[in-house]
Amino acid sequence: MAKPVVGILMGSDSDLPVMQEAAAMLQEFGIEYEMSIASAHRTPKKVMEYSQTAEKRGIKVLIAGAGWAAHLAGVIASHTTLPVIGVPIDSSPLKGLDALLATAQMPGGVPVATMSLGKSGAKNAGIFAAQIIATSDVKIANRIKVFKVEMEREVEEKAKRLFAISTVKSTLKEAKEPKELREPKEPREPKEPKVTAELDAAAALPAKKKSRRRRWKKKTGGTTPGQEPAS
């Protein structure tokens, strides 16, 4: 079995349902990882020792998940130069806002790459760790590319299905609702006649000459040719 290259730590076993999302992503990309429980508050010596020996053991990225006053990721980052990804967990009565601030608001000099709260954050931590490893591993980089294409395809399939369902629904609605029952539409404004090229051309023609018969009538006072004009 290959050596683990990612270390996942969590403050308590109660964090496992969230943190296993990170593990699932690493598994999908075929990256070896190890998992443990360690608390900056409850087991400070273990956190220090684990962080200080991680690099020597071949670990390349560390992921730390904790809820409440989440100091775990920050304390790990203070003991190592490995990249540390923090996952704030929404386990407190403050629904994780405390953990989010404690993980993200690191003072300058000790960075922690903080993910979003809860399961999405843990999933992203797994992907982000893979992306860091992928900078020097073409195989992993290609797997991440495939993952992205798959994700796009899945979303497109869902969009197609939703479109089909919504089209069927609107057709059914139309069938249920006869025309007479539908709300009358606003009357339309009368349309302006179209000015076509033909109309323009017609307007430009010279007036028609009066017929010979009309000219004769005017001249003779109404008699037709061959008739004597009235005296």
Provide the binding-site residues for ligand C2R, judged by CB under 6 A.
11-12, 14-15, 39-42, 66-72, 89, 91
Q: Least CB distance from residue 33 to ligand C2R, whole Å?
A: 18
Cβ atoms 80, 61 nearer than 8 A: no
DSSP character at residue 63: E
In the complex, which residue's CB is closest to ligand C2R?
Answer: 11
Cα dihedral 147, 149, 152, 156, rounded to 10, equals: -130
Residue recorded with tokens 């290609």:
142
State which amino acid sits at residue 77. Answer: A
Q: Least CB distance from residue 37 to ligand C2R, whole Å?
A: 9
Q: Least CB distance from residue 32 to ligand C2R, whole Å?
A: 24
- In sequence order, the β-bridge partners of residue 9 are 36, 64
- Kindly tell me which of 20 and 91 has the beta carbon lying closer to ligand C2R: 91
Q: Least CB distance from residue 100 to ligand C2R, whole Å?
A: 12
Q: Least CB distance from residue 48 to ligand C2R, whole Å?
A: 12
CA 68, CA 64: separation in Å to the nearest integer?
13
- Kindly tell me which of 102 and 130 has the beta carbon lying closer to ligand C2R: 102
- Kindly tell me which of 113 and 133 has the beta carbon lying closer to ligand C2R: 113
State which amino acid sits at residue 227. Answer: Q
- Kindly tell me which of 8 and 31 has the beta carbon lying closer to ligand C2R: 8
Cβ atoms 125, 22 nearer than 8 A: yes
Long-range contacts of the stretch 16-20 (C-beta < 8 A, 24+): 18/65, 18/87, 18/89, 18/118, 18/119, 18/121, 18/122, 19/63, 19/65, 19/87, 19/89, 19/122, 20/122
Q: Least CB distance from residue 11 to ligand C2R, whole Å?
A: 3
- Short-list 80, 2, 4, 58, CA closest to 36: 4
